[in-house]
């Protein structure tokens, strides 16, 4: 199987050609990658097949006269299969102002070492 995957490790966005045999137990050594301009593309392409991750952006409820929800994001990329449980937890949270951009909303989600932080400030 060959997939085209856009490397998002830098703004160039190389269109990686990622080939592997889809036998249900793909190993790193079985993955071939072409069209990468640098070695980071090799790492990204393999990770996308073996354990894809994403930075998550979402919103949390906030008890404010100005807005009902405030934007938040993860401080790093989470495994894709952790995203839905994260969103479930985030949608249970109701913040109280004041909130500053960078404040931790959820700490060390599922022992991943990744926090969720507010991405804007709200004084009241």
| Structural contact between residues 53 and 80, judged by C-beta atoms closer than 8 angstroms | yes
- Chain residues binding ligand SF4 by CB under 6 A are 7, 9-10, 12-14, 36-38, 40-41, 44
- The H or E element containing residue 118 is strand 116-118
Please state the closest distance from residue 10 (CB atom) to ligand SF4, in A. 3
Task: Indicate the residue whose CB is closest to ligand SF4.
Answer: 41
17 backbone dihedrals φ, ψ, rounded to 5°: -105, 110
User: Nearer Cβ to ligand SF4, position 13 or 113?
Assistant: 13
By C-beta, is 40 or 120 nearer to ligand SF4?
40
| Cα three-residue angle 109-110-111, rounded to 5 degrees | 90
Q: Tokens 């109280």 belong to which residue? A: 96
Q: Which residue number, 14 or 114, has a Cβ lying nearer to ligand SF4? A: 14
Least separation in angstroms between residue 112's CB and ligand SF4 is 23
């Amino acid at each position: 199987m060959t997939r085209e995957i856009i490397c998002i490790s830098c703004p160039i966005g190389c269109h990686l050609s990622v080939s592997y045999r889809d036998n249900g137990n793909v190993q790193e050594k079985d993955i071939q990658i072409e069209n990468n301009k640098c070695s980071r593309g090799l790492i990204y392409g393999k990770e996308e097949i073996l354990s894809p991750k994403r930075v998550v952006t979402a919103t949390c409820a906030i008890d404010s006269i100005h807005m009902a929800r405030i934007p938040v994001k993860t401080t790093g990329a989470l495994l894709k299969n952790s995203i839905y449980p994260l969103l479930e937890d985030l949608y249970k949270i109701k913040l109280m102002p004041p909130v500053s951009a960078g404040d931790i909303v959820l700490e060390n989600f599922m022992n991943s070492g990744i926090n969720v932080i507010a991405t804007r400030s709200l004084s009241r």
